[in-house]
Amino acid sequence: MSPGGPPSRGGTLLLAPLDLRDYLLALMEPLLPGQLLAPWLRFSGASTELGLRLTFLAHERHEVHVEVSPREQGQKYAAQSPRLAFAYRHGGAERVDQQLGRLVCLAVAAHVAPREQLVLDRLAASASETLEGSTRIRKIHTTRLLEPAGTPDQRFYTLSPYLGCLIGCRFCYAQSRLDPQRALLRLPVVPWGSYVDARVNAPEVLAEELRTLPPRPIKFCPIVSDPYQAVERTMLLTRRCLEVIARAPAPPPTLIMTRATLMLRDLDLLRSIPEAWVGASIPTLDDDVRAHFEPRAASIPERLEMLRAFRDAGVKRVVVVQPMLPGDPEALADALAQVTSSVSLGVLRGELGAQDDFADPRYAFAREEPWQTRTALALRDALLRRGVSVWLGELPPELLPHGAS
Ligand code: SF4
């Protein structure tokens, strides 16, 4: 194996130039997904969709995600190895007992410690970056694309042709997920919104996975990117993945959401998928507010116009309102009721890079939790009065088959 090359997995040299998931799996070697790390702890798999995550089943009942990040001085973690830190999150509906979460992290840290030096050094050596103008675009290969997600009784897959986002909304939660990945790759610290990793073989991997994995609904880009950000104009990875889905013998239900209007390009393609849903995030009706918080995203009138076009073409639509931003909830409910009958609501979960945006005296009140909650409730009531269904979570209830697993 050449220095800086990818690690081996199960004794097989991986040919893909770089995908962090493979390095996560290499940290767990010689253990493979499905095998026991301890008599009470089964290793289920690795994912980079929602951060660097290893998943386990404790006592064959409790799904526990272990989040991996570079170790930082002065931070507290559930467990640490010499170079990495480990925290836990519950996987199913049930919360993970603190003691159990910590035990899982300790077991993982002990397993990872002897091999992390080798894996992390190879990872750093193999990280290369292509600079295009002021934008950092890396082309990477992936060995897996569809990521199991959801709760045990409502399983679906996430699909992200891109990691990172050039739209760069400053409150975007993706930055907190992707920053640890970049730190592990020893990539330069650059502002959120100026980099993206493109999984250039995504359509080919998807075609194979649709043939071999159990059928489940697919949700594009749940958090780590926007499927229609600027690079998609030339890279066409989202479009080619949709083509693969449309050509499948039994195309799975598919949800794709964006803050960009490029999705209109794929209207005919989306219309050809029997159970396709499209969506947009519309956190306010006031485009001045939108321009303040999401300067590089499509305007609100453009997003509404896009949804009207999909409505007229007979494609099902959802809207996500998250976080709550200043504006009249009744007017927003009026506008949304004209383009969708299904809305997901969510409040601000941390300002992240948007502290300066919220520090503006015109908008400072919107950062307060009571205002977020009050506005979400007012909007919910206004939507329900207009016959729009309101849901929380990852997928509209209509998209999940009853008893899906
Ligand atoms: S468009 Fe979505 S993924 Fe991209 S920066 Fe904005 S919130 Fe994040």
- Residue 17: the pLDDT is 47
How do 41-47 and 154-159 pair as beta strands? unpaired
Cα of 168 vs its chain's centroid, Å: 14
CATH class of 130-399: alpha beta
- Residue 89: the pLDDT is 85
Q: Name, in order, each residue with C-beta under 8 angstroms of 28's C-beta and a sequence gap of 6 or more.
A: 37, 43, 46, 54, 111, 112
**Ligand 1 nearest atom to the CA of residue 224, by list position:** 3
Pocket, ligand 1, Cβ cutoff 6 A: 165, 167-169, 172, 174, 225-226, 259, 297
Ligand 1 pocket mutation pick from 162, 167, 229 by most atoms within 8 angstroms of CB = 167
Distance CA 359, CA 265 (A): 37
Residue nearest to atom 7 of ligand 1 (CA): 172
Helix axes 174-185, 20-27, angle to 10 degrees: 70
Q: 65-88, pLDDT tens digit by residue?
A: 999 988 877 778 899 999 999 999
- Residue 248: the pLDDT is 97
Q: 327-376, pLDDT tens digit by residue?
A: 999 999 999 999 999 999 999 887 777 888 888 999 999 999 999 999 99
Distance CA 405, CA 152 (A): 6
Ligand 1 centroid to residue 187 C-alpha, Å: 20
Q: Where are the domains of the chain?
A: 8-126, 130-399
Tokens of 322: 């998250």
Look at residue 108 and tell me whether its pLDDT is greater than 90.
yes
Ligand 1 pocket mutation pick from 50, 162, 165 by most atoms within 8 angstroms of CB = 165
Beta bridge partners of 79: 86
- Residue 223: the pLDDT is 74
Look at residue 31 and tell me whether its pLDDT is greater than 70.
yes
What does the pLDDT average to over 7-23? Answer: 51
Q: 216-266, pLDDT tens digit by residue?
A: 999 998 777 999 999 999 999 999 999 999 999 999 999 999 999 999 999
268: nearest Cα among 328, 314, 218: 314
225: nearest Cα among 154, 189, 174: 174
Q: 131-181, pLDDT tens digit by residue?
A: 455 558 888 888 889 988 887 778 899 999 998 899 988 888 788 777 777
Look at residue 96 and tell me whether its pLDDT is greater than 80.
no
Look at residue 14 and tell me whether its pLDDT is greater than 50.
no
